[in-house]
């Protein structure tokens, strides 16, 4: 699972870089914390999130980014993105559900993504999704907002 660790570090670096680009207009007023948790259903059927460093194929992992406005001024129309690591497949679960998806990290659309095949519109498989993005309309001063996506380890 060394590969998973390396890819997780790459994901953290990518998100950090992306976040810095996204918050340039906010005068570095945004703090981001990323967590990776295994998604488990307990005996009562309740979803439980457990911190994880390595995981075997088939494990569902949730990546959650918590954005905190660190200044006394509201931030509006904040666009945040979370890439999907290369060794993971998006499950279709995003929180909030208003996320847009991309297969190339440049062109985004509402989910499910569609494409024309033989003259018919068909859903693009989740395995081709590479990035999700959210528009946080308003992040009040000294408040936080979280976004998350679930993936399965390939």
Half-sphere exposure of 112 (CA within 13 A, CB side): 13
pLDDT digits (tens, 9 = 90+) for 37-59: 999 999 999 999 999 988 999 99
Instruction: Check whether 22 has a pLDDT greater than 70.
Output: no
**69 closest CA partner among 1, 153, 137:** 137
Q: What is the mean pLDDT of the chain?
A: 87
Q: Taking phi first (over 0 means left), then psi (-120 to 50 degrees means alpha), and beta for anything else, what does residue 93 get?
A: beta
Half-sphere exposure of 78 (CA within 13 A, CB side): 28
DSSP letter, residue 121 = E
Q: Which residues pair with 150 in a beta bridge?
A: 62
Instruction: Check whether 129 has a pLDDT greater than 70.
Output: yes
Task: Give the pLDDT of residue 1.
Answer: 53
């Amino acid at each position: 699972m060394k590969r998973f660790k390396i890819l997780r570090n790459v994901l953290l670096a990518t998100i950090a870089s992306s976040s810095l680009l996204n918050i340039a207009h906010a005068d570095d007023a945004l703090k981001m914390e990323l967590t990776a948790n295994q998604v488990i259903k307990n005996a009562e059927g309740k979803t439980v999130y457990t911190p994880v460093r390595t995981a075997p194929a088939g494990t569902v992992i949730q990546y959650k980014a918590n954005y905190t406005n660190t200044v006394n001024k509201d931030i509006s129309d904040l666009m945040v993105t979370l890439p999907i690591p290369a060794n993971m497949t998006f499950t279709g679960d995003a929180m909030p559900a208003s996320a847009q998806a991309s297969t190339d990290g440049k062109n985004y659309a509402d989910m499910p993504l569609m494409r024309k095949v033989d003259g018919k519109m068909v859903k693009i498989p989740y395995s081709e999704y590479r990035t999700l993005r959210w528009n946080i309309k308003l992040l009040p001063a000294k408040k936080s907002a979280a976004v998350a996506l679930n993936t399965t380890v390939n």
